[in-house]
């Protein structure tokens, strides 16, 4: 059996591969020309009635003209195409007036083909005629076609020339638009031919030459003649050497290559030739039976409606070609020489009575489309439809397709569209708590622009009804049009996946049974397993490799060795202040240079300085006409300094490859995974600039800070200094806020006029968020006793704790006071007291409950119970909107810093319109999921799991009281991150991001403090 399988495996693999290739080729052939998804809103709208027929009625009597046009109109045609031959001084204006009047009376539109026997020799006179024609009939005719089949010598009058015809268009096009401002100028219909000149030129090549000669600007729609010849409309072969109905696609592809995809491509003549209907048949157009002619014609219309949103009016070759019964074009005619209806027109009439105006086909449709029914009060103009201010504002739009979109004018105004498809919520829109799907018309960036908004997809084939109800938005001309998509029914997914599975299984079986290959794979797996840490390190960069073995050189100034801490700290602080406060660029640059040198000499001090200035990112330093955050500048300087140290050390040590290996901890891997997912999420962001900026300042730079803490040799004293400087920075924030509160400046009035402290931040809530991270650390360190801490140092921790707590209290941050701080204090109690924590915890619980009872009537507390208008109401609406956002992009999220644009532009609940400018989800779980998708949420859960696992182990095992309390403080700070983050921001502010990375990096670093550095 094994031998049989080994023999069959190559055959199965080869057969499966062939099947996959064939399926993909067939799929590509089937969908070629088929516009996937919703058509581009820049595409010209399709005419509501897409079917026309060629006529030759100028010489006929008035009775015959009226009778024929009436029959054409009753069949369901919307257009007739009549050729008007011009000769100098011989044009019959009377007959033309009569014909055009009858066309209008029978509710038809006319394509006026203006041509002559020898246009190139009399371009100026012909141009004058075209101007007079357009001027005379500007109120009755809107569509003009200049010439016919100019790629054939028989029609052009001499050797065809795309340049000559382009010049003709350039001459006449502006004249017609001058005479008729509503005119649509059609390029001449190109005859399908495979010849390449000189007498006849391939229509595809001729169109390419037209674009090359600059004709793009001188016609409003292109035109071809997609005759079917000998095969039906579903003959999907495409080649310059093949004449069939699908050849129309090749013309369209030439338009797209020339960047002219917004225009429609009209079919000025098409059909199938039945030689049995002609007394003098010809073989030029192929041959089909009358039954095939009927079926092919209807199938062609169906294909153009359902697959080609770029196809304009389809004009059948002729209704009847004239009184000459020997005219070979009777083979195309819809009637017989006796005047009777042929089979094609009879079946076509039945078809059109059902489908022609019943539903909008695949394509773009204007606001004033007959497929759209508006309630009373709507206004219409060339801008679109305007929502009425009074009364109902409903639209019912009937379409046929699998996708539906609205083309709307968005801007800085408030309006909501409620949409349902077939009485069900639209599946691409967010849903209110009442179960209604809706679309916000406020632009994400508040700019006025026209935009295509996808409403529904994956609809069943057939007719659908969209019902739209507008709320507000008058005087904005909000509704510009409708877009209908129609996915191809040709689905090869399951067959292809099955063939792919067989191919992979067969290949896997072959490889598995090749002994040498199997041995090789085993060796490779072992090799990569043993070296996976090294490979990860090399891929992610050399910024953080070489933490071990770093020692101070003997040639450094003794001023900066570790035995003298005051001087380097003082000099670094002075240099930082000089950089920040200096009004002179030169002094600022000199100070930066000094800082770079100081950071090179003492990178541990650089980390402390970064921790100090974290909250002051809101007050950047102006340089070179740009603003630079001090936090950002210090981080980049420290990174550069560490890289310089490593490069110099490496060049002196001449290390081998093993020196580059850095063992990554689980927390390191989690942080790098988070950074990688953040980088990838940029690809899914609509606002790319905002995403890149947030990645730089909130992901990349905080991660750099984390890596610096990980790779720089640090002692216990260094770690405590970093945390102390972090607390000092928060203490300064509190002091500034308390001074402002005392002086009554920079305050915000809350409910009932309560004044809220906000210090250096824009919002009082940010005070509670940032100080909530530092306060647990200060409280924990104040629990140290002698001899591990001096009385003065402990008093400083206590004073800092009191000031920060009072500042948080005066900020009236509910998230901090009700969740963050109580949770952090609880953690400190249980970690510090262990089994004896129950009594102090009960005291804390009692105090908290007492405060809640006492202040329950305070507006800031009482508003929490308001389920109709207060903060709880808005949070619930925000979270519901965020869940809808995540459901639409569960893998990638909406991208970094794109929450505001997605929320304001699409997902905001209509009930929450008072506060549209929200940039985050106010919930840690929803925030990471919305920005980075579910993988991003998994990465932060990985970080938190590893953090608490490491912290708990350190608290349980360390014998150093200072490190134990430092760990307790940082752990309580992280608990504050989670608790407060349930209702507010968690990570996605610069200060919070740096505080987060500082917390986890110190916890990880405590596990491998450089004791050797401490001793030296």
Q: Who wins on pLDDT, 411 or 338?
A: 411
How far apart CA 237 and CA 247 sit, in angstroms, is 8
pLDDT tens-digit readout, 355-400: 666 899 999 999 999 999 999 999 999 999 999 999 889 999 999 9
pLDDT in tens, 891-940: 999 999 999 989 888 888 887 777 788 888 999 999 999 999 999 999 99
| pLDDT at 861 > cutoff 70 | no
The percentage of the chain sitting over the pLDDT mark of 70, rounded to a whole number, equals 86
Write down the pLDDT at residue 1016.
34
Rg (CA), the chain: 38
Higher pLDDT among residues 988 and 872, named by residue: 988
Q: What is the mean pLDDT of residues 544-563?
A: 38
Instruction: Give the confidence band of 654 by pLDDT, cuts at 50, 70, 90.
Output: very low
Query: Do residues 230 and 188 touch, judged by C-beta distance below 8 A?
Result: no
pLDDT of residue 837: 79
Tell me which residue of 352, 335, 331, 242 sits closest to 287, measured CA to CA: 331
Q: 462-499: per-residue pLDDT in tens?
A: 899 999 999 999 999 999 999 999 988 766 666 777 87
pLDDT of residue 527 exceeding 70: no
The two beta strands, 437-440 and 416-421, are antiparallel
- 858 pLDDT exceeds 90? no
The 8 Å CB, 24+ separation contacts for 516-523 are none
Say if strands 109-116 and 143-146 run parallel, antiparallel, or are unpaired. parallel
What integer pLDDT is reported at residue 529 of this predicted model?
Answer: 52
pLDDT given for residue 981 in this prediction = 94
Q: How confident is the model at residue 740 (pLDDT cuts 50, 70, 90)?
A: very high
Structure-block tokens of residue 870: 């207060």
Q: Which ranges of 513-565 does DSSP label H, i.e. alpha helix?
A: 515-530, 532-540
Alpha-carbon distance of 695 to 693, in angstroms, equals: 5
Contacts of 364 (CB under 8 A, 6+ apart): 39, 40, 41, 43, 44, 45, 46, 309, 407, 481, 482, 483
Per-residue confidence band for 739, with pLDDT thresholds at 50, 70 and 90: very high
Question: pLDDT at residue 637 above 80?
Answer: yes
Residue 547: predicted pLDDT:
32
pLDDT value at residue 863: 61
The answer to whether residue 658 scores a pLDDT higher than 50 is no
H or E element at residue 293 = helix 290-307
Tokens of 462: 């057939």
Percent of the chain predicted with pLDDT > 90: 59
What pLDDT digit, counting tens, does each position of 434-449 carry?
889 999 999 988 999 9
Task: Taking each helix axis as running N to C, give the angle between helix 821-833 and helix 961-981, from 0 to 180 degrees, rounded to the nearest 10.
Answer: 150
Task: Report the C-alpha gap between 421 and 892 in whole angstroms.
Answer: 27
DSSP letter string over 72-130? HHHHT--EEEEEEEE-TT---HHHHHHHHHHHHHTT-EEEEEEEETTGGGGHHHHHHHH
| Of the candidates 781, 827, 787, the residue with the CA atom closest to the CA atom of residue 804 | 781
Among the ranges given (162-176, 576-590, 701-715), the one the predictor scored with the smallest mean pLDDT: 576-590
Q: What is the pLDDT of residue 280?
A: 86
Cα gap 289→68, rounded to integer Å: 25
The DSSP output letter for 866 is -
Task: Tell me what the pLDDT averaged over the chain comes to.
Answer: 86
What is the per-residue pLDDT for 183?
A: 96
Q: How far apart are CA 559 and CA 388, in angstroms?
A: 78
Query: 460: exposed, middle or buried (C-beta count within 10 Å: 0-12, 13-18, 19+)?
Result: exposed
pTM, 2 dp: 0.73
**Which pLDDT belongs to residue 694?**
94
- Measured at the CA of 513, the angle between CA 509 and CA 518, to 5 degrees, comes to 105
Whether residue 41 has pLDDT greater than 90:
yes
In whole angstroms, what separates CA 272 from the centre of its chain?
Answer: 45
- Give the model's pLDDT for residue 959: 87
Cα 436 to Cα 432: distance, rounded to the nearest angstrom: 5
For residue 456, the SS3 value is strand
**What is the secondary structure of 633-653 as a DSSP string?**
HHHHHHHHHHHHHHHHHHHHH
Q: What is the mean pLDDT of the segment spanning 533-556?
A: 35
What pLDDT is stored for residue 490 in this prediction? 67
What is the mean predicted confidence (pLDDT) over 245-251?
96
CA atoms within 13 A on the CB side of 670: 18
What local confidence, expressed as pLDDT, does residue 624 receive?
64
Question: ∠281-285-289 over CA atoms, to 5°?
Answer: 70
Q: Using CA atoms, how far apart are residues 936 and 942, in angstroms rounded to an integer?
A: 10
Identify which of 699, 697, 659 has the alpha carbon closest to the alpha carbon of residue 679.
699
SS (H, E, C) 377-446: CCEEECCEEECCCCCCCEEEEEEECCEEEEEEEEECCCCEEEEEECCEECCCCCECCCCCEEEECECCCC
How many Cα atoms occupy the beta-carbon half-sphere of 391 within 13 Å?
10
- DSSP letters for 865-921: G-SSSSHHHHHHHHHHHHHHHHHHSTTT-S-TT-HHHHIIIII--GGGTT-----S-
Give the lowest-confidence range in 162-176, 523-537, 547-561, 740-754: 547-561
Give dist(CA 268, CA 862) in Å, integer.
73
Q: Are 503 and 410 contacting, i.e. CB atoms less than 8 angstroms apart? A: no
Tell which phi-psi region holds residue 126, choosing left (phi > 0), alpha (psi between -120 and 50) or beta.
alpha
pLDDT of residue 548: 30
Give me the pLDDT at residue 848, please. 77
Judged by average pLDDT, the poorest of 67-76, 165-174, 319-328, 856-865 is: 856-865
State yes or no: pLDDT of 867 exceeds 70: no
pLDDT, tens only, 313-334: 999 999 989 878 889 999 999 9
């Amino acid at each position: 059996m094994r031998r049989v399988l080994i023999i069959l495996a190559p055959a199965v693999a080869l057969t499966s591969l062939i099947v996959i290739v064939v399926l993909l080729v067939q799929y590509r052939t089937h969908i070629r020309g088929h516009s996937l998804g919703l058509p581009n809103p820049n595409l010209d709208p399709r005419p509501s009635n897409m079917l026309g027929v060629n006529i030759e009625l100028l010489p006929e009597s008035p009775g015959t003209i009226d009778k024929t046009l009436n029959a054409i109109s009753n069949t369901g045609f919307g257009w007739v195409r009549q050729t008007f031959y011009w000769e100098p001084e011989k044009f019959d204006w009377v007959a033309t007036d009569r014909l055009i009047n009858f066309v209008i009376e029978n509710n038809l539109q006319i394509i006026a083909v203006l041509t002559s026997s020898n246009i190139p020799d009399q371009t100026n006179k012909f141009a004058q005629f075209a101007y007079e024609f357009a001027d005379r009939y500007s109120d009755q005719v809107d569509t003009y076609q200049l010439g016919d089949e100019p790629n054939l010598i028989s029609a052009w009058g001499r050797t065809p020339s795309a340049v000559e015809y382009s010049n003709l268009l350039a001459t006449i096009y502006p004249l017609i638009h001058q005479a008729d401002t509503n005119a649509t100028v059609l390029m001449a219909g190109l005859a399908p031919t495979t010849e390449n000149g000189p007498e006849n030129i391939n229509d595809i090549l001729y169109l390419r030459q037209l674009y090359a000669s600059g004709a793009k600007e001188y016609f409003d729609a292109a035109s071809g003649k997609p005759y079917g010849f000998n095969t039906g409309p579903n003959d999907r072969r495409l080649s310059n050497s093949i004449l069939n109905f699908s050849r129309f696609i090749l013309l369209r592809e030439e338009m797209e290559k020339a960047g002219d995809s917004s225009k429609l491509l009209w079919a000025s003549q098409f059909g199938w030739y039945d030689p049995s209907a002609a007394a003098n048949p010809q073989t030029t157009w192929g041959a089909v039976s009358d039954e095939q002619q009927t079926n092919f014609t209807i199938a062609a219309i169906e294909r153009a409606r359902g697959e080609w949103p770029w196809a304009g009016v389809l004009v059948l070759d002729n209704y009847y070609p004239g009184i000459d019964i020997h005219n070979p074009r009777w083979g195309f005619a819809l009637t017989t020489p006796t005047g009777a209806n042929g089979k094609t027109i009879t079946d076509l009439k039945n078809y059109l009575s059902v489908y022609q105006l019943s539903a909008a086909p695949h394509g773009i449709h204007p606001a004033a489309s007959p497929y759209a029914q508006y309630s009373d009060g709507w206004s219409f103009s060339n801008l679109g439809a305007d929502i009425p201010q009074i009364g109902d504002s409903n639209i019912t739009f009937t379409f046929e397709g699998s996708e539906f979109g609205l083309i709307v004018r968005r801007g800085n105004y408030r309006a909501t569209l409620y949409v349902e498809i077939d009485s069900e919520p639209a599946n691409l829109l967010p849903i209110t708590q009442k179960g209604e799907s809706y679309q916000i018309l406020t632009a994400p960036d508040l700019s006025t622009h026209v935009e295509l908004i996808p409403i529904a997809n994956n609809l069943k084939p057939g007719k659908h009804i969209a019902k739209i109800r507008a709320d507000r938005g008058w005087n904005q001309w909000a509704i510009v049009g409708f877009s209908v998509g129609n996915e191809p029914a040709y689905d090869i997914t399951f067959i292809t996946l099955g063939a792919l599975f067989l191919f992979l299984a067969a290949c896997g079986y072959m490889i598995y049974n090749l002994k040498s290959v199997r041995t090789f794979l085993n060796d490779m797996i072992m090799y990569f397993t043993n070296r996976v840490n090294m490979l990860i390190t090399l891929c992610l960069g050399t910024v953080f490799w070489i933490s071990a073995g770093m020692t101070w050189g003997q040639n450094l100034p003794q001023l900066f060795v570790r035995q003298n801490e005051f001087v380097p700290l003082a000099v670094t602080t002075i240099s930082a202040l000089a950089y920040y406060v200096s009004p002179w660029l030169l002094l600022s640059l000199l100070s930066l240079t000094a800082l770079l040198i100081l950071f090179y000499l003492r990178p541990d001090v650089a980390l402390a300085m970064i921790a100090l200035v974290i909250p002051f990112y809101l007050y950047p330093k102006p340089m070179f006409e740009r603003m630079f955050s001090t936090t950002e500048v210090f981080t980049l300087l420290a990174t550069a300094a560490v890289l310089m140290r490593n490069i110099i050390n490496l060049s002196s040590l001449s290390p081998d490859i093993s020196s580059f290996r850095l063992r990554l901890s689980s927390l390191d891997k989690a942080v790098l995974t988070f950074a990688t997912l953040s980088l990838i999420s940029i690809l899914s962001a609509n606002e790319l600039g905002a995403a890149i900026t947030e990645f730089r300042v909130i992901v990349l730079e905080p991660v750099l800070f984390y890596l610096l803490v990980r790779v720089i040799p640090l002692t216990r004293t260094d770690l405590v200094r970093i945390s102390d400087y972090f607390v000092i920075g928060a203490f300064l924030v509190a002091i500034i806020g308390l001074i402002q509160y005392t002086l009554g400046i920079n305050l915000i009035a809350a409910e009932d006029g309560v004044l809220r402290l906000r210090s250096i931040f824009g919002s009082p809530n940010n005070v509670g968020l940032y100080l909530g991270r530092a306060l647990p650390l200060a409280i924990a360190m104040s629990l140290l006793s002698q001899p591990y801490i001096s009385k003065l140092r402990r008093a400083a921790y206590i004073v800092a704790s009191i000031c920060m707590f009072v500042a948080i209290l005066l900020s009236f941050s509910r998230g901090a006071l009700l969740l963050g701080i109580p949770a952090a204090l609880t953690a400190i109690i249980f970690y510090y007291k262990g089994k004896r924590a129950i009594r102090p915890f009960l005291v804390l619980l009692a105090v908290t409950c007492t405060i809640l009872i006492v202040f329950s009537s305070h507006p800031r507390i009482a508003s929490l119970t308001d389920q109709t208008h207060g903060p709880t109401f808005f949070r619930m609406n925000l979270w519901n909107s965020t869940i809808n956002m995540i459901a639409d992009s569960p893998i990638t999220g909406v991208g970094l810093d794109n929450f505001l644009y997605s929320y304001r532009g699409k997902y905001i609940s209509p009930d929450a319109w008072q506060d549209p400018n929200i940039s985050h989800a106010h919930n840690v779980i929803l925030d990471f999921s919305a920005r980075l998708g579910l993988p991003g949420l998994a990465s932060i859960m990985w970080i938190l799991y590893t953090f608490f696992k490491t912290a708990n182990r350190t608290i349980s095992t360390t014998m150093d009281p200072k490190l134990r309390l430092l760990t307790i403080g940082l752990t309580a700070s992280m608990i504050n991150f989670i608790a407060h983050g349930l209702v507010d921001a968690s990570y996605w502010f610069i200060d919070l991001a740096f505080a987060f990375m500082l917390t986890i990096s110190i916890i990880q670093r405590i596990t491998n403090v450089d004791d050797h550095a401490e001793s030296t």
